Structure 1
């Protein structure tokens, strides 16, 4: 969500984030995602949560073929690209400064016959939501988008707008701080939330959520 440039970090564990590209194989396709840490910061590198989300999508536990999906805070676009390769019609979103970079990755990694299944679009959470159909998506995807407390309420409003009673929300994240669990508590007030996958090596959890039914006053 937030486009936060980071100062060069020499820690070995973070060195891969400073590479100009990251390579993966998902959905029987070799993918090469451009990265640009210095220009766009966290929005322009592939985080472990995106990788784990793609691994989970490949398991086929959530139907994607022919489904309308939207990725929030897409960054490099890896998750949305993989969802499209798995058969979804995907709207891949981020804030305006990241869109050219995001579009370049999408065009470079989708074969010609899949290009029409993806739309890259600007979305700042909580703003201009009427540009997106209310309850108009079957699947909502977000990888490592829960880390700034100021974005929690706008993100929740966005999820509520995008989701119908049958929409599946998948969030992949690392639980780093108390604020991360606070967000999950906020989410549980409006959605049913289940942890459906845990990657122990990367310490990434995938949560599946769907809207709570309307309360009935007795």
Structure 2
């Protein structure tokens, strides 16, 4: 699973002295959130995005279960509709989208899953 591999990579990087602490991270297509939650547990501030309402609920549940609410947040992102995330070519800032950048890191471990 690519998400698990990427989460392990960030844990390894942390052990090598490359800290995620304080970094602003955007996770695209977060799914269960394994990558973003790992980064949040390492001290990053992570905006986890996905499309399906059930996935967004699961992400919030996983954040709550891991007590990462101060470092991780869930946001709806529809890649098919640029108006949902861009305003005049810049990222939109609303309650439905992550805080407008800049982001130090953008990750996409499991972003290609589609039930259809």
Pairwise TM-score range, normalised by the shorter structure: 0.7 to 0.9
Aligned to 2:6: 53
Larger radius of gyration: 1
More helix by share: 1
Residue number among 90, 99, 102 corresponding to 1:136 in the alignment: 102
- Pair 1:102 & 2:59 matched: yes
Distance of aligned partners of 1:74 and 1:127 in 2 relative to their CA distance in 1, 3 Å threshold: farther
The separation in 1 between residues aligned to 2:30 and 2:7, in whole angstroms, is: 13
Q: Is the 8 A contact 1:69 1:88 kept in 2?
A: yes
TM-score, length basis structure 1:
0.41
Compare relative contact order (CA 8 Å, sep 6+) and give the higher one, 1 or 2.
Answer: 2
TM-score, length basis structure 2:
0.73
Distance of aligned partners of 1:109 and 1:52 in 2 relative to their CA distance in 1, 3 Å threshold: same
Distance of aligned partners of 1:57 and 1:140 in 2 relative to their CA distance in 1, 3 Å threshold: same
The separation in 2 between residues aligned to 1:143 and 1:80, in whole angstroms, is: 9
Q: Is the 8 A contact 1:69 1:137 kept in 2?
A: yes
Residue number among 28, 33, 38 corresponding to 1:72 in the alignment: 28
Aligned to 2:41: 85
More strand by share: 1
Query: How many residues end up aligned between the 2 structures?
Result: 97
Ranges of 4+ aligned residues in structure 1 off by more than 4 Å: none
Q: Is the 8 A contact 2:28 2:49 kept in 1?
A: yes
